[in-house]
Amino acid sequence: MSGIIRDFKKHTSKEIVKTVQTIPESRREWLLRAFGNAGMHNPNNTNFQVWQQDSHPVELVTLKFTVEKLNYIHQNPVAAKIVFDAADYVNSSATAYVGKALECPLEIVLLEVHGLGWNE
């Protein structure tokens, strides 16, 4: 699992930085500065750091635990005060769990929750 996460982070961080550098985006300089500052504080990086250094993967063994983790992920933009409601965050699967799947630009595969609401 740790190898998969390592490779995922390595690949996606390169793609994110490349995209930020090439696509006109109003926050480009801010993002590159933030990634660069994080990279300066990590001896394992040469330029930019997009992801946190560590990871703590957990196996989703029960439906209840899986829904708990899904809710946690959905609530992150709310906790960060980006949105008031999780379903209002455009790039979140929370939109699909409340019936707004057409508003989300991502392809979403819903979990079978068998009576558990997405926000229970």
Between CA 21 and CA 53, with CA 49 as vertex, the angle to 5 degrees is 155
34-51 pLDDT per residue, tens: 999 888 887 777 789 898
| Residue carrying the six token digits 């595969």 | 109
User: Using 50, 70 and 90 to split pLDDT, how confident is the model at 66?
Assistant: confident
Tally of helices (H runs) and strands (E runs) in the chain: 4, 0
Long-range contacts of 99-105 (CB under 8 A, 24+ apart): none
Instruction: Report the alpha-carbon distance of residue 103 to residue 110 in Å, rounded.
Output: 15
Report pLDDT digits (tens) over 90-106: 778 888 888 766 666 77
Handedness of CA 80, 105, 65, 71 (dihedral sign): positive
